[in-house]
Structures are given as C-alpha cells and as structure tokens.
Structure 1
Amino acid sequence: MKSLAETGLLDSPAEEGFDRITRLAQKLFGVSAASVALIAQDRQFLKSVVGDLNVNTPRAESFCSHTILTPNTLVIEDAQQDDRFSNNPLVLGQPNIRFYAGEPLQGPGGHNIGTLCIIDDVPRTFSEEQKQVLQDLAAIAQREINVRTDLKNGAKIQQAHLPGNSPSLPGYSISACSRPAGDLSGDFHDWHLHNGRLRFTLADVMGKGTGPAILTATVRAGLRATADREPSEALTAVSEELLSNLARTESFVTAFHAELDPATGIVRYADAGHGLAHHVTAGSAITRLSTLNAPLGIMPGMQWHTHSLTLNHGDSLIIPSDGVLELLNEDLKELATALQLLPASTDVATDLNRLALSPGASTDDVTVLILRRN
C-alpha cells in the first residue's frame, strides 16, 4: 500500500495520458471495457476507464487483485467456467464479465500496484500475439506511472530546498508564497543571513517541468556560494557558470538578487531581466524597479549593475514572478494595483491563491516574495 501511496494516483482525477491508453486498448481488442486499475487495501480504484464499469469496487470482487499477485499476464477466457470467479458478483451481475485479461503495473520499488486490463461480456480466446500487444500497452501505462512518481518525488525534494521559517531580523519580516503550474516549478525564492545581512532572491527559469526545476537548484546553489560578493557580481558569476547549460536547453533565467542592511534599511540589488520588483512606501506610493539588464545565460561577457534603495519604516519591497503578471492580463498597472494591497495583507498565501484561481488563471508558475520594514 505504501508503494501505491507514493505514486499519488489513488483517487486522483482522470488524465489524458492514461485515458489514451485505455481507449486504444478497447478499440484494438474490440472489448466492452478497458481500464487502468489500482488496488488499494480494501478496494479497486479505476484511474482510467472506457466502458460501463464502477470507478470503485470492493477488492474482494476485483479480478485485478488476482493479477497483481503474479508477474505474468492473467487471462480468464470464460469466467463462468473458472472456479475462482464463477460466483463473483461482477460475473453474475453487471457488468457480466465473461472474459478478462490483465497485465500487472508496478509502483516504486517494483511492487505490483494495479493493472492494465480488458474485459468483455462474452467468452473469448486470447492468443500469444494479443497478449504481447496488451503487454506493450501496459509498458506505456507503466511509463506514465513512472513519470508521475518521479515528478512527485522531485516536487518533494524541491519543496525541501525552499527556505523554511524566515530568519530572526528585528524590525523586518520576509515571507513568500509559491504555486507551481505543475508538480515542479521553474520559479524559486530564497533567503539567508550572511554576516548579519539578509540575502534574498526571486528567480524564474524559462519554461516548466523537470529541466527548469533542475536549473533552479543550480542557480540557488550558485548564488548562495557567492554571498560575499556584490549582488551584480554574484549574478555575473552564476551566469558564466550556467552559460553552457542554458544554451543547451535554449533557456534563460530572470532574477532579482539583493542584500539588506538591517541597521540602515538600505537594499542593494541587481536585476537580471526581471523588472517586476516594486517598492511600496508606508503611504502606499508604489514604484516599479524596472531594468535594462538582460537575463542570465543570454551570452558570455554580460555585466549587471548593483542599485540601491532605502526601506523606511512601513515600507515594503514586493517581488512577483511573471506568472503573477500573466494573472493580471500582462498589465503592469493592474499588477501595481494588486501589489499595493499586499503589504496590508495578513495572509499572503490566501491572497495569492485568490489571484491564481481567478478567471484568467495563469498557466505559469506563480511566486511572490515580500520584505517589510515594520
């Protein structure tokens, strides 16, 4: 059961990747139904189904619960003539199963967790050639399971690398909220204290999925390793380090990287093509910190510049990713209006989720970092 739980598939919504396989199986074999079935402790759950089958069935009645006990294809050519199934409610009543063929599917660690199966309401013979076709389709379903499991595990690792509680910094607070478009995010935020100063970053790797997620970890590690340098010098060093990787993936990284001196409120920052950070004063005046500097990884020899601003008491520095701008119809004025409200927010995560679930919801990763001087 642990292996099944690790996939995150039990009781999850239908997905086209699996539905395509069951549709193909039903058409290829000309049967009444096909499904990707997952076997839980007390029931069978159909992740994908074509035909008139219940999504949930007691495990005791499930044909697939027999299939997962063997590494081989289970074929029942006539269930009424098989002592194991002749009195099964699914044979005696709807869906009147007479023929069944199932191929085991595995979860993490190689444990059988379910099947790709086909059924019909009339007896059938099943040749070795047909068995091979079912095995080939099951291999495709198995890849779908493996990819989703890898993404779930990758998301857990990525979450573990995000900063935890904000550092103790009397007079200031820093917080962030992130909503990936999928399991893995191309956005990242980070903060840590270095020699009594707060270093913080929001970066966005172009694209979504595994590749950008790997690059976010590399960028974060590079910026942490250059904490003793000016923000602009840190960006230069990381860009040169990443140049070949970014070129191979045809990607680039926008980033806002900064350092706060808590004693003075001075923030020294460098912006690599991000251009969405906003300074909100205690009186709610808002200024966007635009930039002419390019993203990281565009070409060798690029230079970035360090700028500064002062956070007075009651001021905030708010840095959204471009997924937030997408939520607001790519309108910078709408973005400024929305960000003006965040310094007074008592629950940034709720406010961001409200935006994320709006009618024009973004298909991009969405992240916001807020530094306040109380």
Structure 2
Amino acid sequence: MSAQPEQHEVEAEQRRLRAVENVGVLDDVHQQRLDRLTRTAQVAFDVPASSITLIEADHAWYPTICGLPSDPVPRQDTYCSRALDMGTVVVSHDTAADPRFKDLPFATGEGALRFYAARVLRDPAGNALGTFCLFDVQPRDFSEREMRLLEELGAWAESELLASAEMSRAHMVQAAMLPDAPLELEQWQVEGVCTPAQAVGGDYFDYSVTDGLLSFGLADVMGKGTGAALIGAGVRVGLRAARSAVADGADLGRVITLLEQGSIADLDRAGSFVTLFEGVADLASGELRWVDAGLGLAVLVRADGTAEQMRGEDLPLGVIPGRGFTEHVTRMEAGDRLVVFSDGVLDLLDDENRWLEPVADLVRRHAAPRDLFAAVNSLARQRMPMDDITVLSVYRRA
C-alpha cells in the first residue's frame, strides 16, 4: 500500500504547479530564443534530440523540442518528472540499466531513449518548473566539459523562461490599464488601439467622460519595455487624478505643468522623457481644449475634408522642467475626426517627414475608427515597424 504524501509535500507541489502556470504562453522573442537553444544543444552535444520540458500536474509539455514529437505525454512516463527531485544536473548514461529510470516506457523497447541528461529549471523561489534535457538512442559517456556546458545552457533556458513569464504578466497588467471598450455616445465615437513593439511598451492612450466633458490623451515614453511602461503608467495615473480639476475649469496647461513637477524625479532617474497630447472636449458645444507636449502627431480632419495638424510649441515632459505648458482651444464640429498617434505609425509611411496628408487620407477613407485601425494594422504587417504603435481616434458624427 503506497504511503500518502505528507501535507508539506502536497503544499510544495501546489506551489510548484502555480509556478509552472505562471510561465504562461511564451512571446515570440523568447520562443525563438528557446528554439535556438535546443537546436544548439543538438549540435553541441551531437545528440538526436533536445527539449525544454515543463511538468504540470498530469502531463509534461514542451515549449521547445527538437528531434522528438511535440505532443504532451503523461507525466508519470517521463524522465524529466523524476529528475525534478534529483538535484540540479541529472545524467543517466544508460537508462535501461539505471534503477532510477529503467521501469519507464522510454527506457526499453523499440525507439527507446537510452541516454538522458538534464538541467533542472527553477524559479527564483526554488520551485522546479521542468528541465532542459538531452536524449540519445544509444548509451553514452558524458564528460565534465559537457556537464558544464549543459549547466550553462540550462541556466540560459531558465532565464528566458522566467523573462518571458515576467513580460507576459506585465503585458496583461498594461493591457488591463487601457480602456476596456470604445465610447459610443450620442454624437461622439472614441476608440484607441495600442500595439507594443515588445510585450510591453511606453505608449498608452486613455479616455473617460465626466459631467459632459470627454477627457482623452495619448503619451509616448522614450524607450521600450517594462521601464517605459512603468513611467507611462505613472503619467496616466497622474492625469486621471487631475481630470476632476480640469472639469472644474482648471487650465489644462497648468495641470500638465504640475504633472511634470510631480514626475520629474522619476524621469531624471530613468533618463527619460514623455511626449503627450491631452484634450478635453465639451460634448454639447464641441469646444476642445488641448495641450501638445512635444508629440506633434495629431490631425483634425474637418467634415469638408480639410486637414489641420494640431501641434503646439511645448517640449516633452522632462526635457526642460519648469518651462510650462500651454492650453490651446479649438472646436470640433459635427463630422470632424481627430486622430492622435505615436511615432511608430511614421515607420509605416514612405516619408515620415511628410505624414500629414497620408494620415489625413487614411482618416478620410475610414468612417469608423475600427476600420482605420484595421488599415494601420495592415500597413504594420507589410512594414514591420520597430517602435510601439498607438492610435487614438475621436470622431464627432455628422
């Protein structure tokens, strides 16, 4: 009769399974790096198969595998499941003769994997996620040099898995901070889209309605990745907190000036700056107050088809602190369309210095924001931009 596992063993396994779940789905960059790792291992060790194996409750699955089928297999049938409790590096020169593995189906019979070597992959808390492993159909020796190389490649694989998990969580958090649905008002239609160049990026857009006023904005933080995303999140929170003051009549330029004062220490430490467009529209009259802090990428296409670039003279937040920002006033009439975008869109154009007319033409040809975003996405697939792409549309229907 088999002994029941101790309570602490059950709890440890539950923690381990949560750690495996946190790895999630690999982004494209980390997936490609892991694929290169297993291909490198095949060549470096002259083995027919190599894999990264993650061990779930009932199955083992392979984020990357070379030389063997990629279908998940029952956990109890795998060398890797047993290797989790055997130390950091596990080597079996002949699995059919090794008491640790010889009862497993892969150790004997046709197509048996007679050699196995693995480096166990762990998270920072020590939870075993799975293995970076090598297989051969023949028993073989394994030198000290090969042991060191396996340890190094396994550490690399471990780092890539954890980095991908961290980026995936950051991506989910950042996506959750964006507006979760378009605004469909009686005469107004507001929508945005953000596509980071990496899993997370420094762009963001935002919009909300309070007391008959539509507040909206787009910011682009210098840089990409998690650091830029953190700065962007801080700016967004500061602007959201200030919108009640703007609704009460506070000068929008003064609000942006105070926001810069509150964030300048963070910008200095990060060596970064933020370009920004922030607007407040009166839904009844169409009066639009706006500030352009170094972005310069906003176009207002009037109902008659004429296009105006909405650009101020102010610098980005963090470039010359204390210089201040200026509120501008215009009016959006029925049928007007305002589009604000980040400089990643410029990568999609033939001449980024002459963007006004090509962008205005895109806006003219797409009466719905979603159709406009689809057109931008189609260009992105053709041009492969290197920067984040964010577009915010504010349409006042005819």
TM-score between both structures, scaled by the size of structure 1: 0.86
| Segment of structure 1 superposing worse, 232-241 or 252-261 | 232-241
Asked if the contact 2:191/2:369 (under 8 Å) is kept, the reply is no
1:254-333 to 2 correspondence within 5 Å? Answer: 254-329=275-350, 330=352, 331-332=354-355, 333=357
Tell me: CA distance 1:87–1:246, structure 2 relative to 1, closer, same or farther (3 Å): closer
- The answer as to 2:179 corresponding to 1:163 is yes
Cα separation, 1, equivalents of 2:104 and 2:54: 23
Q: Which moved more, 1:296-305 or 1:148-157?
A: 296-305
RMSD value, Cα: 3.0
State the match for 2:360 in structure 1.
336
More deviation, 145-154/106-115: 106-115
1:23-63 Cα shifts (integer Å, max 9, x gaps): 5545665544433223456654433345x333335336532
What amino acid is the match of 2:233?
A
1:14-163 to 2 correspondences below 5 Å: 15-22=31-38, 25-26=41-42, 29=45, 31-39=47-55, 44-49=60-65, 52-56=67-71, 58-59=73-74, 61-68=77-84, 70=86, 72-82=88-98, 84-85=101-102, 88-89=105-106, 92-94=109-111, 97-106=113-122, 111-126=127-142, 131=147, 133-163=149-179
Retained in 1: the 8 A contact 2:215–2:279?
yes
CA apart distance, 1:308: 1.5
Query: Which residue identity does 1:340 align to in structure 2?
Result: R
Structure 1 unaligned residues grouped into runs of 5+: none
Within 2, Cα distance between the matches of 1:205 and 1:13? 22
The corresponding residue for 1:186 is 202
Q: Match for 2:140: what amino acid?
A: R
**Contact 2:107-2:114 at 8 Å conserved across structures:** no
Q: 1:125 to 1:197 in 2, by over 3 A?
A: same
Report the alpha carbon displacement of residue 213 of structure 1 after superposing the two structures with TM.
0.3
Moved more, 106-115 or 148-157: 106-115
CA distance in 2, matches of 1:168, 1:87: 60
SS state at 1:190 partner: strand
Identical counterparts, % of pairs: 33
Contact 2:122-2:158 at 8 Å conserved across structures: yes
- Equivalent position amino acid for 2:169 in 1: N
Q: Is the 8 A contact 1:186 1:216 kept in 2?
A: yes
The answer to which of 67-76 and 253-262 deviates more is 67-76
Greater Cα offset, 221-230 or 196-205: 221-230
Q: Which amino acid aligns with 1:58?
A: V
**Number of aligned positions between the proteins:** 371
**How far, CA to CA, are the matches of 2:30 and 2:179 in structure 1?**
33
Q: Partner residue of 1:350?
A: 374
In 2, the alpha carbon distance for the partners of 1:119 and 1:304 equals: 64
> Does the 8 A contact of 2:27 with 2:168 survive in 1?
no
Q: Where do 5+ consecutive residues of structure 2 fail to align?
A: 1-16
Post-superposition offset of 1:260: 0.7
- DSSP 3-state at the match of 2:276: strand
Deviation of 1:347 (Å)? 4.0
Using a 3 Å threshold, how does the CA distance of structure 1 residues 77 and 368 change in structure 2: closer, same or farther?
Answer: same
Q: Which amino acid aligns with 1:280?
A: V
Q: Does 1:373 align with 2:396?
A: yes
Query: For residues 295-320 of structure 1, what are the alpha-carbon distances to aligned partners after superposition, in whole Å with 9 as ceiling and x for unaligned?
Result: 11112222221111111111111111
1:348 Cα deviation from its structure 2 partner = 4.5
Determine if contact 2:26/2:165 at 8 Å carries over to the other structure. no
Q: Which of 256, 262, 266 is the aligned partner of 1:245?
A: 266
Measured in 2, the distance between the counterparts of 1:313 and 1:91 equals: 77
Whole-Å separation in 1 of the counterparts to 2:56 and 2:364 = 48
